Amino acid sequence: MVGTVGRLFVGVDLAADARHALAARLADTVEGRLPGKVAPPPNWHVTLRFLGDVDQVRRDRLLMALAGADLGPTFDMTLTNLGAFPKAAKAAVLWAGVADGSVALEVLASRVEEACREAGFDPEERPFHPHLTLSRIRPPQDVTGLIRDVEGFRIRTRVDGVTLFKSHLGRGGARYEVLERFELGVRS
């Protein structure tokens, strides 16, 4: 794409205490046993809208649209239990799920989607499944036992902003650069 500024997505960054709590839970239960390409804790986030390669004009329009959007109030979400896409018996993506707060996240994702459309992006057709990716597994594996071993945690954390990230893909794995953060509960 001409004039691309990179591969962008909008997500919810995880607060440091929740990041530490989840890392501790994994260390206590399945240390060293996560299969596939494991996402390091600094990379953990919940994607609200993946944009792919974006040109400068649309990036700037999106920054304006998100800055001017009413993204709604802050809210709490609870990270709980692991799951897998497409299914635990043949997992390609291992994730931590969202319990309380998943409806609020869905509403937030739809507000972000509105801003994306305002900025000229095509509508997102895929349904929103809030999740926090822990590992990408090729070829897929059965993670049923592993999911069971981690079960039973609840990590409550506040969602108070959304972040526009730039994804840098490299041989050492992905790195996510924060381009801009937009606070919830603030109307500009």
Task: Determine which residue in the list 50, 114, 128, 160 makes contact with ligand 2AM, applying CB under 6 A.
Answer: 50
Tell me which amino acid residue 38 is. V
Q: Which token pair is 169?
A: 């893909």
Give me the numbers of helices (H) and strands (E) for the chain, helices first please. Answer: 4, 9
4 makes contact with ligand 2AM (CB under 6 A)? no
9 makes contact with ligand 2AM (CB under 6 A)? yes
Q: Which of residues 60-119 bind ligand 2AM (CB under 6 A)?
A: 93
Cβ nearer to ligand 2AM, comparing 53 with 70:
53
Cβ nearer to ligand 2AM, comparing 81 with 133:
133
Cβ 115 vs Cβ 66: under 8 Å: yes
- Return left, alpha or beta for 89; rule: phi > 0 is left, psi -120 to 50 is alpha, else beta: alpha
Q: Which token pair is 51?
A: 């944009």
**DSSP secondary structure letters along 121-145:** PPPP-SPP--EEEEEEEEEEE--HH
CB of 107 to ligand 2AM, least distance (A): 19
Cβ nearer to ligand 2AM, comparing 81 with 167:
167
Q: Which of residues 142-171 bind ligand 2AM (CB under 6 A)?
A: 167
Cβ nearer to ligand 2AM, comparing 139 with 187:
139
Task: Determine which residue in the list 29, 47, 74, 81 makes contact with ligand 2AM, applying CB under 6 A.
Answer: 47
Q: Determine the longest span between alpha carbons in the chain, in angstroms.
A: 48
Cβ nearer to ligand 2AM, comparing 96 with 155:
96
Looking at the DSSP assignment, which residues form a beta bridge with residue 55? Answer: 4
Query: What are the residues binding ligand 2AM (CB under 6 A)?
Result: 9, 47, 50, 93, 133, 167
